[in-house]
Amino acid sequence: MYRRLLAGIVTLVCCAVVGAGGGPATAAGKADTGGPPSPPRLTDERGRVLTLRGWNVEDKTHRGEEALSAITERHFRDLRERGFNFARLLVFWDDLEPRPGRYSEDYLAKIERILDWAERHRIHVLIDAHQDVFGPAFGHRGIPEWATRTDGLPFEPHPDDWFAEYFEPAVQRAFTHLYEDADLQRAQARMWRVLAERFAAHPAVLGYDLINEPMGELRAGEDIPTAARRIEAEQLTGMYNRLADAVRSVDQENWIFFEPTPVVGEGVPTGLGRVDDPKAVYAPHFYSTAMEAGADYDPSAGWIEAYEAAVRVYPERYGVPVVVGEWGPLNSGLPNMGRFYRDALASLGRYSSGWAGYVWCYGGGYCAVDEQGRFRPNKERTAAPYAPAVAGAVTEDVYDPDAGTYRLTYRAGHGVTELRVPPRPGGWRVRVTGPGWTATPGLPSDRAATARVHARPGATVTVTVTPGHGSG
């Protein structure tokens, strides 16, 4: 019921956003067409412009001593072999701190082992403090039971629509206490200090996602978009600044990712204020409630256009990069899903520094691949050429899925630019135009590969990747 209510309310907002904005704006990496400025991009320690392409990695099925045991080195090896460079790793406060002030060394060691696998396969990792419907007090994962305060309000499970449980009075009140109770604020900050201090120097760690899909408590008479903007402005902004300070007390280097409420996924602009950190990243999710419920993609509905127009407002206002932390439909085999992946990937490429699909697992449902490791329908479209690191200022970054051609133009700085391609029959050809060169003009067909481009600083260089016709 609540999914349908949410979808109905935000459809009106989506239409208003598209009408007011005239469609999506010009985004980073594309030629200037007179639109508003594009969000800035992520960079690495050498100042190169980063692009992240990857998937979420999770294990929600085990608790305590068995937590994270379903994640294996295969996840990271397979990501690398398909051409990806990024994983959003779900971790759970309830496993990290099962009792107040008692942090599980076993759980920390398991996270470290996973990060070691990621480093071995050269995968950047975002550590995500995940919650679904708050936590185990309501049959899910996330905030510990000892940090769950409901004031005795009721909770009714919704086994056929778990998202509706966010609107149960007990769950909503638990979020209010998390955001406003001083002792819970301190406990959450301590939790993040423990994580950041332990993993600040780990080579695989790129950053920290402070809380997954935060929600909150609706007030009498509020509709959902109005409540979401109030929660973001009055509660989430303060929480994010507190947690950023906690992280910075032990880690000055890694990026801090923060999310709006899930309502933004329907094209509702966020009410978040400034997160006052020099390495802050806006990390919305990209889901349609209709598609989450199993519906096919409807290109005429304008959902992607509305989402893009709305999601660009915050990063352009505050000058922060965008990385979409989760996206992807429940059923990727429906008739219009090929069109969905084409439209979604084109949109994401216009404004973001990258994305993590949901989810890299071996099976059905949301899984990227089946039990044999083969892409499930249409998800192979996520594996395409891209530039993980560009030594210079990007002026064009575009992939044509029909021709299978990728083109990157940049004004070179100091350093080496990297291009990454997935496995493809016939391999790939790499052509450099301008004062630059690569030692690998042909890339192999049987595995993902990286081309490294050297260029004269200050020169404008175009790199074109096209399908090859041999083994490379």
Residue-range domain boundaries for the chain: 2-31+50-383, 385-472
- What gap in Å lies between CA 399 and CA 381, rounded to an integer? 11
pLDDT tens, position by position, 361-370: 999 999 999 9
The predicted pLDDT at position 266 comes to: 86
pLDDT cut 70: percent of the chain above it: 90
The predicted pLDDT at position 197 comes to: 98
The predicted pLDDT at position 284 comes to: 98
What string of H, E and C letters represents the secondary structure of 240-280? HHHHHHHHHCCCCCCEEEECCCHHHHHCCCCCCCCCCCCCE
pLDDT cut 90: percent of the chain above it: 87
Over residues 240-259, mean pLDDT: 98
Question: Is 3's pLDDT higher than 60?
Answer: no
Q: Contact, 437 vs 443, CB < 8 A?
A: no
Assign 100 a pLDDT band (cuts: 50, 70, 90): very high
DSSP state of 90: E
Provide the H-helix boundaries in 293-405. Answer: 303-311, 313-318, 337-351
pLDDT tens, position by position, 108-121: 999 999 999 999 99
The predicted pLDDT at position 37 comes to: 63
pLDDT tens, position by position, 381-436: 999 999 999 999 999 999 999 999 999 999 999 999 999 999 999 999 999 999 99
Task: State residue 185 phi and psi, 5-degree precision.
Answer: -60, -45
Question: Is 61's pLDDT higher than 90?
Answer: no
Q: Contact, 259 vs 232, CB < 8 A?
A: no
Strands 392-400 and 436-438: unpaired
Over residues 58-78, mean pLDDT: 76
Question: Is 9's pLDDT higher than 90?
Answer: no
Average pLDDT, the chain: 91
pLDDT tens, position by position, 196-212: 999 999 999 999 999 99
The predicted pLDDT at position 68 comes to: 53
Question: Is 17's pLDDT higher than 60?
Answer: no
Residues 6+ positions from 324 with CB-CB distance below 8 Å: 283, 284, 285, 286, 348, 352, 354, 355, 356
DSSP state of 385: -
Nearest-5° angle of CA 152, CA 155, CA 156?
155
Question: Is 1's pLDDT higher than 60?
Answer: no
- What gap in Å lies between CA 28 and CA 48, rounded to an integer? 15
Sheet with 405-412, side-by-side order of all strands: 392-400, 405-412, 460-467, 428-433, 442-443
pLDDT tens, position by position, 350-361: 999 999 999 999
The predicted pLDDT at position 412 comes to: 98
Over residues 120-148, mean pLDDT: 98
Question: Is 66's pLDDT higher than 60?
Answer: no
302: its two tokens = 């304008």
Has domain 2-31+50-383 been given CATH number 3.40.50.11740? no
Give the number of other Cβ atoms within 10 Å of residue 11's Cβ: 18
Q: What is the pTM of this model?
A: 0.93
Task: State residue 440 phi and psi, 5-degree precision.
Answer: -130, 70
- What gap in Å lies between CA 149 and CA 147, rounded to an integer? 6
The predicted pLDDT at position 6 comes to: 57
- What gap in Å lies between CA 256 and CA 276, rounded to an integer? 10
Q: Contact, 227 vs 12, CB < 8 A?
A: no
The predicted pLDDT at position 229 comes to: 97
Q: Contact, 208 vs 93, CB < 8 A?
A: no
Over residues 174-180, mean pLDDT: 99
Over residues 456-462, mean pLDDT: 98
pLDDT tens, position by position, 28-48: 333 333 455 678 999 999 999
Alpha-carbon dihedral 69, 72, 75, 80, rounded to 10 degrees: 140
Over residues 343-352, mean pLDDT: 97
The predicted pLDDT at position 345 comes to: 98
- What gap in Å lies between CA 431 and CA 440, rounded to an integer? 9
